Structure 1
Amino acid sequence: MEHLLPTYQRREMEAVQASGSYVWDAEGKKYLDFMMGIAVCGTGHRHPHVEASIAEQLGKVWHMSNLFRISGQETVAEQLISGTHFKGAFFCNSGAEANEGAYKLVRKWTGRNRVVSFSQSFHGRTFAMMGATGQEKIKQGFGPMVEGFDHVSYNSFEALEAITEQTAAVWIELIQGEGGVILADDTWLDALMERAQRVGAKIVVDEVQTGIGRTGTRYAYESTPLIPDVVTLAKGLGSGFPVGAILAAQGAEEVFTPGTHGSTFGGNPLAMAAAKATLELLFDQSALEHIEETGRYLMDRLSKLKTPSIVDVRGKGLMVGIEMTEEVAPVIDALQHEGLLVAPAGPNVIRLLPSLFVTKEEIAQAIRMMEHVLEQKAGVRG
């Protein structure tokens, strides 16, 4: 890796084969993947339906400029907004790009330039989205941020006073993923929506991690009182193929007009083939019911882990955080050695993001691995 800029704390393991909930490294060791590229491979690795859709498109057209019609965009946009209040979609390549586009949209839409976002939030690593993010560690060394972001406490009623007639938008994750898997309180969201609507501020929900079925509904906002003006999507939208999207309510079509925004690779035919197949799988009611059921099973099994090092288990659907009394990096390393891949969510939280088609047997297997690692660590400390 000597020719790569060292922007990642990389683990040494390299996956050379993957299928469903499992990956294999170059030595042939098998791992149960409860990370899924950080909520990217929602259908599991190489789901046959998605793979077939991409393979079929590979034999037709890979790329065309957005100056031409790409009918796959129309199909996927209809899948995304059907049964919602949204009126239009814009396609890009990533969550950060979706958030940047949404930032342009709400500023032009409202004629205002202030945005309220929340402490411990994460919205991407582009320059404006670093400013939106409520974590100082990702901003260090880059100088002054883009102005206009007001960071306030999450789930705080007093903090809602920051939403004023100068606010273009309130920017929110309904579950703060990188911030520790923190869930928004419904009563607070009710008050947030009332305040935003009263002063004419837009509500932008960052569903880059929670979207596309991860929490047991198509979008996380659907199980809350919130009615957003804009939703941003990526990660799970393409089952591992890079796809991002902005969904917007009535009125956005008068703001994002020809020449106001674009993305060279956004909505390309291959990406749309991946997204179409993904949505066919995950927006099916039986799939959403499976996510809810297995999510409850996972939470129940985790709640029965007997170890004093676990402070809290929280989450929704198949997005779960385990808060611990200690730093989790050594635990994550030990779990990988055991054959289970998981992600951190801050220094003290283990994040579980399995395939949305994970089985109860695979969950039970993951729990046994966690039990073994935690028992070993408790024995060492004892």
Structure 2
Amino acid sequence: MKILISGAGAAGLCAAIDLAQAGHTVEVVERANHLRVNGSPIDVRGAAIETARGMGILDAVSEHRITMTEQTMFVDRTGAPVAPLVTQEINDTPDDIELPREDLMNILRQALPGQVDLRFGESVATLADDGDQVAVTFASGREAAYDIVVGADGVHSAVRRLVFGPEREFTEHLGVYVAIGDAPGQATPGNRTTEVLNLPGRFAGVARYRDKALGIFEFRAEPIDYDYHDQAAQKRILTEAFAGVEDWKVPELIKTAQDDPELYFDAIAQIHLPTWHRGRVVLIGDAAHCATPMAGRGTSLALLGAWTLTEELGRHDDLEAAFSAYERRQRPHAEAAQEFARGGVDLVVPATWEAIEERNARLRAAQPL
């Protein structure tokens, strides 16, 4: 079949690899003019490890493995340690390969079969499914028709909006926003300690790996009306959320976030859809079932979803049967990840000083003697 994939993130590139290896003609379009590599390191865990093996990328993934942190320490307003984070609080799977996001994206790009047509600076503008094909008009004005369109374009999926309706109808805001930016001034060779300062409803931290450091921020807020493509607006919102905070390294970290041209900023929000397919259009990854970064499972779900979709397309001549089988297999993984993420907000961004101290006391008590 001739298949269009919207989005060249982990889900889109994994789907391109799997579907092309299965013999399909694959085109991938990506709105950005480059691979999206900004953000914190990611995890390949659980069943996704065997999926990576089947894709032929496990050795490369393992070669780029990092130890993101030797210890995560919550600190007070002076930077003094107050409580270590217990690993069990954030990880329920012992088999876990962590690697920099940029490394994984480059691995996936290099693994693309030669016949995959990857186009940057291109995005879907309209879709028309007549039952036999999907006619697509692109933002560039180009027109083409496909047997299947795969929406792998993330939490703000254009394909989902065009086929299923407005994003707000399927979004559950968990009450938190997150920002991640490079913090080169915080990198020190050999230091893999992550430090986190909590203020009521706010979190500012430094995460270190290899010779890099990231400034990470989270803050509680009701849904904010802004253009998620407008980075100036994102930086303004972040700065306002931490206005007046002079504690620890916060002013310096906010400055580095302002200076980062690739700052990542978004709501911590989940996507819930009653079905992930309609006609000849199907959704995978965050477009279908975003669990939020709190889950730490987005990349693994992307690998699993792309592989499962490809398998079911190979098993069924009928698209409805193939898409339904894909959903039946993938949905339990997605729902488990979404449920796991729900406990992360109170752990990472306690709402009050009392809740912060209660969390810290619980973490101190959980440490082995």
The answer, yes or no, to whether TM exceeds 0.5 is no
- Looking at secondary structure, tell me which structure has more strand per residue: 2
Q: TM-score, normalised by structure 2?
A: 0.25
Q: TM-score, normalised by structure 1?
A: 0.25
